[in-house]
Chain A
Amino acid sequence: MIIHRHDVVVVGAGLAGLYAALMTSDKVDTAVVSKVYPTRSHSGAAQGGCAASLGNEVEDHWEWHFYDTVRGSDFLGDQDAQEILVKEAPLVIYECEHMGVPFSRTPEGKIAQRPFGGHFGNFGKTPMRRSCYAADRTGHAQLHTLFEQCLKRGVRLYNEFFLLHLIVRDDRCYGGVAWDLRHGGLHCFHAKAVMLATGGYARAWKITTNSMSNTGDGLSLVLRAGLPLEDMEFVQFHPTGLYRSGILVSEAARGEGGYLINGKGERFMERYAPEKMELAPRDVISRSEQTEIDEGRGINGEAYVHLDLRHLGREAIMEKLPQIHELAWKFAGVDCIEEPIPIQPSAHYAMGGIPTDVHGQVLKDEKKTPVVGLYAAGECACVSNHGANRLGTNSTLDCCVYGRRSGIAMAKFVAEEGELLPDLPEGAAEPARELVTRIFKSKGKERMVEIREQLRETMTENMGVFRTEDSMSKALRVVKELQERYKELSIQDKSQQFNTEFMEAVELGYLLDFVEPIIVGGLARKESRGAHFRKDFPQRDDKNWLKHTLAWKTEEGIRLGYKPVVITRFPPEERKY
C-alpha cells in the first residue's frame, strides 16, 4: 500500500475543506483528498448567498444576526459558537472578496445584500438585507474562488480519492485510508492532523435537493471509529424543491418576493406566519406546505404547491434569479416568467453531525473530551451553530468561518507537535482492506438499487417533515432489515479502474449507518423543536429536552447520551413568526 505523509490532510474540497486548506497551506504541508474534483463539490450548488451583518443596504449589527440565528435554531444552538459565527461573518466575506469572489454590487460598489428567510433587523422586528450574493450562483462563485486560491498556493490535491476508513486509536487520529478511484488501489494518508469536511447526507431521502455525492461518508466513518454524532434527528426540509426531482429552487426566490400558493389559489402562509409570510424560516414553511398537501389543498389535490414569481416581472427575474429561471425551464419545463413553479418540501440539510468545539476539534463524549488530531467543519460538523433549524445563508457562512478556524487551529497544533509523525498503529489499514475484499468478492444475491431505493422511500415517508412514534419505529425496523440485506450485496463491476459501482456500494453502507442515529435520536426526543416535529408531541419541552443528543454505534445498537446547551445571552422564548 502506498503511504502518503503530510502534516495536515483535509478530506473534502467544498467550502469548508478548501477554506481550511488555505489557512494551513502556507504554514504546514497540506493535502486535500476528495472523491470528486474540487469544483464538483456540492458547495457549488449553493445559490442564495452567505449571511453577514455588513449593513451595506440597511442598518445591521452582529447582535441582530446573533439573535436571529439563536431563535432560528429554536434555542438548541450553542450560543458561544453562534456568537463567533456571526461576529466573524464580515471578516470572511471581506476575505472572500479580497480573494476574488465576484459578488454582486450596490450602486456605490459595495457588496450587495438581499433579504432571506429568518433574518430580520432590530431583534426580529424589521425587514433585513443580510445575504451577500453573486446573482443566484453564490456557492459556485465562492467554491471556484477558493479552489483558484488553492491552485495559486500549490495545495496538494488528491482528486477522486475516496475515503474508506479513519484511523483512530485511543482518542487520537492518525490519518485515513482512501481508494484511488482512477487506478484502483488503497492509499494510506498518514498525518498529524486530519480534518473531515465531507458535507451533507440528504441522499438518504427520496426527495432531496442534494447532489448524488452527498452520502454522509464522514459521519459514518466517525461512528465506525467509535465516536459519537450529535443532534442527528434534526434534518432540514427545504420548502421549495422542484416537484418530483427535489432540485432546489433557492430561497432567494422568496427573498426577492415570490409567493406560495395552494390549490385554492390562496397565499396560505397567511394562516401559519401572518407577519413574516413567505420569509418565515424553513421549518415553519415546510410544515405549512405539508399541511396544505396533507389536507388536500395541494395543486389539483396532488403532493405539491406553487411558487409564483410572475408578479416580479421579467427584468427582475432575469437580473436576480437567472439560474432559477434556467432550472425551472430545464427540469420542470416551466417558464417562471409566465407560469408558477410546482414545488414540494425536500430533504436539504444536516443540522447535526460530528461534535466539535469552536476550533473544529472533534469531541468524543458528554464531557467534551477532544480527540487529538481530528477536526471537522462544514455541513458534516455540529458545533452547534444551527441547533434544531438552520437559517438560509448561514451554512456557507458556517463553512467559511469554521473551516477557517479549523485551519488556523490545525496549523497551530501541527507547529506544537514538532517534527515527527506519530507511528501508525499496527494493522491500521486492515478495515479498509477487508471492506474492499468483501465488496469485490461477494457473491451475495442482493442488488444495490433495491436496498437504496427502499431506504430512501422509507426516510421520506417516515422521517420527513412530520414524525410520530409509529412512523419512526417503522423506519427503524426497515433500516435494520436493510442493514442485514446489505451484507449480502454484490456488484457486477469487478474492475479496478474507475469503479463507480464499488463506490456506490460503499456509499450505501454509509447511508445505512448514519440514518440509525437519526431515527433513534428522533424516537427518544419526545418533543417538537425546529425541524424535528412530532405529531404526537407537538410542543417544545425545554424542561426535559433543552439538550443535545449524542449517539454512539455499539454492538447492541445505538446508545444515546446528552449534553447541555450553551446559553450565554438569549434565554429560550416562544418562537413565533
Chain B
Amino acid sequence: MPTRRFKIFRYNPHTDERPRYQEYEVQVPTGSTVLDALNEIKWTQDGTLTYRRSCRHGICGSCAMTINGANMLACEAQVHTLKRDPIVVEPLRSFPVIKDLVVDMDGFFDKLLLVKPYLIVKTPPPTDKERYQSPEDRKLLDGAYECILCGACTSSCPSFWADKEFLGPAALLKAYRFIFDTRDEGVQERLDVLDNKHGLWRCHTIFNCVEACPKGLNPTWAIGELKKKVISEKF
C-alpha cells in the first residue's frame, strides 16, 4: 500500500508557547482523502491530533483547512491529487486557532448575523398554501443557497486579512441569497451593512474566494450583483 508524508500544524494556545509542525507517515489506500489520512493518524498514531469533521462528504462544512497552501475540505481532498511531498496541512488562516486544525469561527458567524441572514417579509404569506415563485426566479438562488458555511472563502480573502471588520465573501453571498430571493422584502434593512466601507466596497474582486470555494460557488460575482443592486436602490 502506498504511504505519504504529512506535515501538520500543531498548536494549543493554552499549553504551547508557539506553534510547531509535526510529521507523520500514513498508509493511503486508493481513494483516500486527507480526512481519511487524518483519521488514520488520530486513531493509530497520535490521539492528540485535533480537527473538526462530521459528514465526510462535503456537505456539513466542518473540515475546511489549508492543504498545501490552498483552502479545501479535507474530506474532499483526494490524496493522490496532491503532488507536493510532504503534504502540508494547516488551519484556515486569519481565524484564531483553538487547537491544531480547529479554528474559532465565532467572528465568521457574527458577520453572517449582520447581513440578516433570514427571509424578511412584510406581506403575510397565503394561509394553507405556498407562496408562488417561478422557476426562473428560483434559479436566481442557485449558486448561493448551496453555501455550506465552511469559511474557506473568507479565510482566503486578502481584503479580510487586511480588514478584520470586512463582512467577507461568505456573509455577502448570504446577503445575495436573500436579496435576490423574490420572496424577500428586506433589501432596505440590509443596505446599511452592505453599503459601507467594511461591506461590499471592501471587495476588490481578487477572486481568491472563487478559487477557494469547495462547492464551486462564485461569491465575487454575487458581490458584483449586489453592488449593482445597491446602486440601483440608491438612485
- Point out residues on A near B: beta carbons under 8 Å: 36-37, 39-42, 44-45, 54, 90-91, 93-94, 97-100, 102-111, 134-135, 137, 140-141, 144-145, 148-149, 151-152, 182, 211-213, 244-245, 247-248, 323, 326-327, 330-333, 448-449, 491-493, 495-501
Chain B hits for A212, CB < 8 A: 53-56
Cα of A362 to Cα of B129 in the assembled complex, Å: 32
**Contact (Cβ within 8 A) A495 B57:** no
Most chain B beta carbons < 10 A, residue from A39, A244, A499? A39
Chain A hits for B130, CB < 8 A: 54, 93-94, 97-98, 103, 110-111
CB < 8 Å neighbour of A140 from B53, B78, B138, B148: B148
**Contact (Cβ within 8 A) B99 A498:** yes
Q: A98-B125, A213-B54, A498-B98 are in contact. Are A141 and B60 (CB under 8 A)?
A: no
Q: A492-B48, A495-B12 are in contact. Are A152 and B118 (CB under 8 A)?
A: yes
**Is B2's CB within 8 Å of the partner chain A?**
no
**Contact (Cβ within 8 A) A109 B133:** yes
Most chain A beta carbons < 10 A, residue from B51, B121, B145? B145
**Is B134's CB within 8 Å of the partner chain A?**
yes
CB < 8 Å neighbour of B60 from A40, A98, A493: A40
Q: A102-B145, A140-B148, A141-B145 are in contact. Are A501 and B42 (CB under 8 A)?
A: yes
Q: A100-B181, A104-B138 are in contact. Are A498 and B145 (CB under 8 A)?
A: no
**Contact (Cβ within 8 A) B43 A449:** yes
Q: B178 — nearest CB in chain A belongs to which residue?
A: A100
Chain A hits for B121, CB < 8 A: 98
**Contact (Cβ within 8 A) B105 A44:** no
Output the least CB separation between A205 and chain B (Å).
14
Output the least CB separation between A162 and chain B (Å).
13
Cα of A495 to Cα of B14 in the assembled complex, Å: 9
Chain B hits for A501, CB < 8 A: 42, 47-48, 50
Chain B hits for A211, CB < 8 A: 54-56, 60
21 sample A-B contacts, Cβ–Cβ < 8 Å, listed by A number: A39-B148, A42-B54, A91-B128, A94-B125, A94-B130, A98-B131, A102-B138, A105-B133, A140-B146, A145-B119, A148-B118, A152-B116, A182-B98, A212-B53, A326-B58, A330-B78, A495-B14, A497-B12, A497-B14, A500-B52, A501-B48
Cα of A52 to Cα of B101 in the assembled complex, Å: 42
A152-B116, A495-B48, A496-B14 known; 13 other A-B pairs, CB under 8 Å?
A: A36-B52, A102-B145, A105-B135, A109-B135, A135-B142, A330-B57, A330-B76, A448-B43, A449-B43, A492-B48, A497-B12, A497-B14, A500-B51
**Is B26's CB within 8 Å of the partner chain A?**
no
**Contact (Cβ within 8 A) A331 B57:** yes
Q: B30 — nearest CB in chain A belongs to which residue?
A: A333
Q: A500 — nearest CB in chain B belongs to which residue?
A: B50
Pick the 3 closest A-B CB pairs, nearest first.
A100-B119, A109-B132, A492-B47
Chain B residues touching A, range: 35 or more
Most chain A beta carbons < 10 A, residue from B54, B112, B129? B54
Most chain A beta carbons < 10 A, residue from B12, B59, B119, B142? B59
Most chain B beta carbons < 10 A, residue from A141, A327, A492, A498? A498
Output the least CB separation between A45 and chain B (Å).
5
Cα of A465 to Cα of B109 in the assembled complex, Å: 42
Chain A hits for B58, CB < 8 A: 326-327, 330
**Is B165's CB within 8 Å of the partner chain A?**
no
**Contact (Cβ within 8 A) A40 B62:** yes
Output the least CB separation between A150 and chain B (Å).
9
Chain B hits for A244, CB < 8 A: 31
Most chain A beta carbons < 10 A, residue from B15, B132, B142? B132
**Is B3's CB within 8 Å of the partner chain A?**
no
- B63-82: contact bitstring with A at CB < 8 Å (1 yes, 0 no)? 00000000000001010000
Chain B hits for A213, CB < 8 A: 54
Output the least CB separation between A503 and chain B (Å).
10
Cα of A500 to Cα of B53 in the assembled complex, Å: 10
Cα of A493 to Cα of B99 in the assembled complex, Å: 12
**Contact (Cβ within 8 A) B57 A327:** yes
Q: A39-B60, A40-B62, A213-B54 are in contact. Are A497 and B119 (CB under 8 A)?
A: no
Q: A330 — nearest CB in chain B belongs to which residue?
A: B76
Chain B hits for A149, CB < 8 A: 118
**Contact (Cβ within 8 A) B31 A493:** no
Chain A hits for B43, CB < 8 A: 448-449
